[in-house]
Amino acid sequence: MAILPILLYPDPRLHRVAAPVARVDDSIRTLVRDMAQTMYSAPGVGLAATQVDVHKQVIVIDISPTHDALKVFVNPEIVASRGASDVEEGCLSVPGVYDKVARAQWIRVRALDAEGNAFELDADGLLAVCIQHEMDHLRGKVFVEYLSPLKRRRILTRIRKQERRAG
Ligand code: NI
């Protein structure tokens, strides 16, 4: 297992669109294990392959406080959704920024698991928001891009200051 470097906003590689996985093989399972370790060590509740510069449709999520309920989504699709949620979101690619984004409150997602088996999952609340957030990454979208231009400018200014301080 390995901890992978996480791309930081506004890295342009975060805007690449991930390709569907043709076959869930050992290379995908290794990626899933590395992504899970990277997410747990960050620590975070979700990670998309895009964030570790792998442009394949793979997501890992674990919202449990005990870090023992890993969910893996390969080629995820939302097949139904309803309601409106405004859970505050954060992102490992935009450290220190938390804000609300308009999301569905309930979703039904269809995906493959790490064995390549198809499954459907109904999710609401934080899990539903997390899945929608990570699926956005696969489309090259970072949650701060939903925020107002003013908020986004402030975030970018802060990031540039941090980068200058880091040299
Ligand atoms: Ni994120």
Please indicate, yes or no, if residue 102 is contained in any of the structural domains: yes
Rounded to two decimals, what is the model's pTM?
0.96
134 catalytic residue (yes or no): yes
* Residues with a beta carbon under 5 angstroms from ion ligand 1: 91
CATH of the domain at 93: 3.90.45.10
End-to-end CA distance of the chain: 30
Count of domains for the chain: 1
Please indicate, yes or no, if residue 154 is contained in any of the structural domains: yes
Please indicate, yes or no, if residue 5 is contained in any of the structural domains: no
Side-chain-facing half-sphere of 106: CA atoms under 13 Å: 4
Expressed as residue numbers, the domain containing 39 is: 12-166
Please indicate, yes or no, if residue 6 is contained in any of the structural domains: no
Please indicate, yes or no, if residue 3 is contained in any of the structural domains: no
Catalytic residue among 89, 134, 145, 163: 134
Q: How far is the CA of 98 from the centre of ligand 1 (A)?
A: 11
Instruction: Spell out the per-residue pLDDT of the chain, length 167, in tens.
Output: 799 999 999 999 999 999 999 999 999 999 999 999 999 999 999 999 999 999 999 999 999 999 999 999 999 999 999 999 989 999 999 999 999 999 999 999 999 999 999 999 999 999 999 999 999 999 999 999 999 999 999 999 999 998 898 87
Q: How far is the CA of 47 from the centre of ligand 1 (A)?
A: 6
Please indicate, yes or no, if residue 159 is contained in any of the structural domains: yes
Rounded-to-integer distance, Cα 139 and Cα 16, Å: 7
